[in-house]
Chains A and B, each alone.
Chain A
């Protein structure tokens, strides 16, 4: 019976996804250049990656740096925001719309805007910091601050995650809170012992997907570094950006496919660990214990 339900996915997977996926796996063992070449070269691409391409390591480091900070920050940010927006205060609908807005705004115009906001002298961010007596960094000009700037940008658009938690919070039965309140639980206790356990499945979802998404960061590095060459001293050369340059600038597609599969293995291991640990902290009301 279960198979009937997942049949649509299986059909879609086999007809649209599996072929290209296998092709890219095979391609990673060739010198495929998209248009004219595809000869088997064994592990050559992989060997080159690990031994002769310093930018491979650099881009991996940049991406890991980004993921390590971005995932916890955006998760906590989205939870806090959704709890706030779940309160019965006037104009919640307006607030929700405003807070959701950044995640719909997209495109190059937004990045151009951020370049203005992060202007070290006259930008809004550093002007605000100056008001509280802090001299802000040079952000996108200083290799040490480019990645924090990007993480900061990402924080701005936690609205998408907020939406998920909001949907979840709304489905927590209100009686639970009412009875807890009668027992004299304060706001923190209510959050800690009712809300938090009830939203763990979504937290788990959020962590897993933003981890996967984080490793695929591309657009930000591409646009903010102008021409996609990776920002000052390659500090914004993310893994996917390096892969993109290899694939579409120098047409070394076989190599890029190899990089994709290395990324696949890394993220797969992390996700598996995540899954394993999830048993200790994710609470499924309707889970089957597994």
Chain B
């Protein structure tokens, strides 16, 4: 009886897996279309891109588009510049937000709710209207044409991530903190040794989000950087957009090259989700 039960259950699970696989597969075909379109455009000649109706795949493949696009502007330089900004943004975001979020989630103090509401409300004001005064402020500090306006603020927490950390901390039982307090641990210790390992998947998520944010940011570097040698990849991509004619083959080739590191990074970072799971399973709440 129990043998048959398990056998049928296994069949059921297998069936579920097959269905899920089919759904995921067909969905990913749709999602991969844009990437396909990007890559195929990046390998076409301009003559072919102008064809109507558009061709589905390049009839003649131009690999040299990639080389030409990369050499059209100092992209290697831009890559390093972007990486520097990304590095500091990620470190700043992960550290400061996990820290501040802990304060909002696990420590009681007067005015906590009010302050949390203030945090949230700063997210609501559209950035355009503070763009000019913020620029003037950084300009007065002498930070224009440096990476400071793009990196320093991330060390002081950002609303979105603080809120996110708070929500995740809130899912962790308070008894854990209380027990550690009884053992004589202070909040810094609890945050660093106890909480951070528990919210590893969140750390990874924040790292990915802030990396992407910095990697894809166009307006920030564009506003604050005046020296072309300090430009970033996203500004570099704008080189191909012309008023008369956009050089689609170059734009797509360079965009593909800019996209790839992000995808690779994401692919690699997924390990942390899996690790996170094992850890929670191990601590047994």
Tell me the A residues contacting B by CB distance below 8 Å: 1-6, 8-9, 11-13, 15-17, 19-21, 23-24, 27, 34, 84-85, 87-90, 93-110, 113, 116-117, 122, 124, 156, 160, 163-164, 166-168, 170-175, 187, 198, 201-202, 204-205, 208-209, 212, 215-216, 218, 240, 243-244, 247-248, 253, 256-257, 260-261, 263-264, 267-268, 271-272, 275, 284-288, 290
Q: Which of B100, B102, B285 has a CB less than 8 Å from the CB of A173?
A: B285
User: Given the interface contacts A12-B153, A20-B134, A286-B170, does A87 sit within 8 Å of B124 by beta carbon?
Assistant: no
Q: A3-B109, A286-B171 are in contact. Are A24 and B129 (CB under 8 A)?
A: yes
B163 smallest CB distance to A (angstroms): 6
> Which of B29-37, B62-70, B81-89 forms contacts with chain A?
B29-37
B interface residues with partner A (beta carbon < 8 Å): 16-17, 20-21, 23-25, 27-28, 31-35, 37-38, 53-54, 96, 99-100, 102-109, 112-113, 115, 117-126, 128-130, 132-134, 137, 153, 155-157, 160, 162-164, 167-174, 176-177, 187, 191, 198-199, 201-202, 204-205, 208-209, 212, 216, 218, 234, 237, 241, 251-252, 255, 259, 262-263, 266-267, 270, 273-274, 276-277, 280-281, 284-285
Closest chain A CB from B15 CB (angstroms): 11
Determine the distance from Cα of A13 to Cα of B112 in the docked complex, in whole angstroms. Answer: 15
Which residue of the partner chain, among B16, B99, B167, contacts A205 with CB atoms under 8 Å? B167
Residues of B within 8 A of A172 (CB): 280
- A250 to B234: give the CA distance in the assembly, Å: 28
How far apart are A285's CB and chain B's nearest CB, in angstroms? 5
Q: List 14 A-B pairs, Cβ < 8 Å.
A: A3-B103, A8-B99, A17-B130, A88-B17, A104-B266, A113-B34, A113-B38, A164-B205, A167-B204, A168-B168, A243-B129, A271-B124, A285-B170, A286-B172
Query: In the docked arrangement, what's the CA distance between A95 and B270, Å?
Result: 11
Contacts of B53 in A (CB 8 A): 122
Please name the 10 residue pairs, one residue from A and one from B, whose CB atoms are nearest each other, closest first: A12-B156, A5-B103, A2-B109, A167-B201, A20-B133, A2-B107, A20-B130, A9-B157, A260-B129, A205-B167
Q: How far does the Cβ of A241 sit from chain B's closest Cβ, in whole Å?
A: 10
Q: Which residues of B contact A104 (CB under 8 A)?
A: 212, 216, 259, 262-263, 266
The CA-CA distance from A287 to B53 in the complex, in Å, is 58
Given contacts A16-B134, A164-B205, A171-B171, 10 further A-B contacts (CB under 8 A): A1-B187, A5-B99, A9-B119, A13-B122, A19-B133, A89-B20, A93-B270, A168-B168, A209-B123, A243-B129
A283–B17 Cα distance when bound, in Å, is: 30
Chain A CB within 10 Å, residue with most, of B35, B99, B132, B241: B132
Question: Do the beta carbons of B124 and A170 come within 8 Å of each other?
Answer: no
Contacts of B273 in A (CB 8 A): 166-167, 170
Bound CA span A160–B160, Å: 13
Partner pick for A268 among B34, B121, B157, B267, CB 8 A cutoff: B121
Please indicate the chain A residues that have their CB under 8 angstroms from the CB of B23 in the complex.
84
Residues from chain A with Cβ under 8 Å of B251 in the complex: 109
Chain A residues within 8 Å of B125, by CB = 21, 24, 260-261, 263-264
Q: Are B100 and A285 in contact, with the CB atoms below 8 A?
A: no
Chain A: minimal CB distance from B119 (Å): 7
Determine whether the beta carbon of B109 is less than 8 Å from that of A173: no
Could you say which residues of chain B place their CB within 8 Å of the CB of A202? 167-168
Could you tell me the distance in whole angstroms from the C-beta of A202 to the nearest C-beta in chain B? 6
Residue of B nearest to A216 (CB): B126
Closest Cβ of chain A: how far from B183's Cβ, in Å? Answer: 17
- Complex CA distance for A172 and B280, rounded to whole angstroms: 8
Q: Which of B16, B134, B173, B285 has the most CB of A within 10 A?
A: B134
Asked whether A253 lies within 8 Å of B129 as measured between CB atoms, the reply is yes
Question: Judging by beta carbons under 8 Å apart, are B124 and A101 in contact?
Answer: no
How far does the alpha carbon of A91 sit from the alpha carbon of B187 in the complex, in Å? 40
Q: B133, A24: Cβ atoms under 8 Å? A: yes
Chain A nearest Cβ from B66, distance in angstroms: 16
Q: Is the CB of A5 within 8 A of B156?
A: no
Report whether A93 and B267 are in contact in the complex, using a CB–CB cutoff of 8 Å. yes
> B32 near A24 (CB under 8 angstroms)?
no
Q: Which residues of B contact A19 (CB under 8 A)?
A: 133, 137
Q: By the criterion CB–CB under 8 Å, are B31 and A102 in contact?
A: yes
Pick the residue among B103, B163, B218, B237 that contacts A2 (CB under 8 A).
B103
A88–B202 Cα distance when bound, in Å, is 21
| Residues of B close to A27: CB separation below 8 A | 129
From the candidates B167, B204, B234, B263, name the one contacting A204 in the complex (CB within 8 A).
B167
